[in-house]
Amino acid sequence: MSTGTPYRAIFCDLLSDHPIDILPLRDVTVDDYIGKAGSLSGTIPVPDAAIAARVRRIEEGRTSVYLQRGNDLWWGGIVWTATLQSDDRGVLSLGIQAATFESYAGRRRIRQDLSFTGQDQLEVARKLWRHLQTGTVDPLAENVPPPVDGGDIGVSYGAETSDPPHPVTVTYRYGDETVYLEALDALAAVDKGFEHHIAVYRDPGTGQRVRRLRLGSPTIEIGTTDLVLDRPGKILSYSFPRDATRGGTTAMARGASQNDNQAAESRPQCSDVQVAQELLDAGFPRVDLSSDHTEVTSGATLNSLATAELDSATAAVVIPEISIRLDDLVPPALLGRTVRLRITDEWWTEGLDARYRIIGVKASPAQRGRPDTAELYLEEV
């Protein structure tokens, strides 16, 4: 980041969140999404031995980094890789790659028998995160095992519930080595499922940094008023990609093998074929989608997974992208916020006026004469 930029890179100990240092970070790219880990990459210049001593305190895998814009936290995650580099003039720098705190769940595995029967899907999601961090799903139960050393990265939870209620029954077995993040994604992927995201922000009362698991069924929505974006105006550019290769009009989900006879051919259990009949009736061709869920044994769950896949990829998939100039009127908490998009140009001669929800953000801090900008990835609401 160049001199005068409103951004600061704050490096902390992952487990304690104790600050390590505030260091310059150049050539920054950062993104964040609902339902999957975001990323950060950047370069720390190392001009002298004093700075080198400070930079050496960054240890990949145990250091977190926050990107702060003004007084607001815009991004937070874990430094996973660091590369020391020297160019042909002997100038040193450290390149870092980080991922949002969701990525920690992608590096932990369920190593205990866990069973949830008829519990709301959001409560199961919270309990999986609680088990990941503490080794128990219920800290108030009797005979609670001692906390898992090194597991608590300080993610807190809310009390969201599905509306309408969505009870699920699921079992995880010791030895299956199920990745926590994959378990969460599988829970969320069913019809009438949910979304998850770890938000970072400062507590308005204490000023302390917060890592918060946000859950929403069926979607995460924040803010009570639309963020209005215009072109001409705050919108710098836009694109509306339409991709029929990712869409379909039928879907089937395949699960675990139900064959107990080892001498016979093993075949997976399959869902019913889900069909978008209204599109076929409208003249669209039949295009088939398929997905594999090797740990699912329930036919009802497979049907729900196939329905959800078809709902999210019906016909052509459209994920609009817009680029905006960041200023003090753009709030830091963008994911899940609804925007009202108003565009008037040669294509939208009568004017586009539509509402979308922000599902992804890619921010580009100002540098080399370029202003602060953000690319927003949208879905229609």
Tell me the C-alpha distance between 327 and 325, whole Å.
Answer: 6
Q: Quick one: 128 and 226 in the same domain? A: no
Contact between residue 366 and residue 22 where contact means Cβ atoms under 8 Å apart: no
Give this prediction's pTM: 0.87
pLDDT of res. 220: 95
The number of domains in the chain is 4
Tell me the C-alpha distance between 378 and 359, whole Å.
Answer: 6
Q: Examine the pLDDT at 108 and tell me if it is beyond 70.
A: yes
Q: Examine the pLDDT at 299 and tell me if it is beyond 70.
A: yes
Confidence of residue 293 (pLDDT cuts 50, 70, 90): confident
pLDDT of res. 3: 41
**Half-sphere exposure for 69 (CA within 13 Å, toward CB):** 21
Q: Quick one: 233 and 339 in the same domain? A: yes
Q: What is the average per-residue pLDDT within 193-200?
A: 96
In a domain, 1, yes or no: no
Q: Quick one: 324 and 312 in the same domain? A: no
Q: Which of 300, 317, 334 is the last residue of a domain?
A: 317
Expressed as residue numbers, the domain containing 299 is 243-317
Q: Quick one: 36 and 58 in the same domain? A: yes
Say which CATH number the domain at 121 has. 3.55.50
Q: Quick one: 117 and 195 in the same domain? A: yes
Mean pLDDT across the chain = 90
Contact between residue 59 and residue 94 where contact means Cβ atoms under 8 Å apart: no
Q: Quick one: 232 and 348 in the same domain? A: yes
Q: Quick one: 237 and 346 in the same domain? A: yes
Q: Examine the pLDDT at 142 and tell me if it is beyond 70.
A: no
pLDDT of res. 259: 64
Confidence of residue 4 (pLDDT cuts 50, 70, 90): very low
Tell me the C-alpha distance between 192 and 217, whole Å.
Answer: 7
Q: Quick one: 274 and 254 in the same domain? A: yes
Q: Quick one: 289 and 371 in the same domain? A: no
Q: Which of 317, 343, 361 is the last residue of a domain?
A: 317
In a domain, 2, yes or no: no
Q: What percent of the chain has pLDDT over 90?
A: 71
Q: Quick one: 167 and 310 in the same domain? A: no
pLDDT of res. 20: 97
Residue that wins the pLDDT comparison between 55 and 140 = 55
Tell me the C-alpha distance between 100 and 76, whole Å.
Answer: 6
pLDDT digits (tens, 9 = 90+) for 308-350: 888 887 766 678 999 998 876 678 889 999 999 999 999 999 9
- Both structure tokens of 167: 């009870």
Q: Quick one: 237 and 342 in the same domain? A: yes
Confidence of residue 370 (pLDDT cuts 50, 70, 90): confident
Contact between residue 373 and residue 365 where contact means Cβ atoms under 8 Å apart: no
pLDDT of res. 2: 41
Contact between residue 229 and residue 267 where contact means Cβ atoms under 8 Å apart: no
Q: Quick one: 226 and 365 in the same domain? A: yes
pLDDT of res. 221: 93
Confidence of residue 6 (pLDDT cuts 50, 70, 90): low
Q: Examine the pLDDT at 260 and tell me if it is beyond 90.
A: no
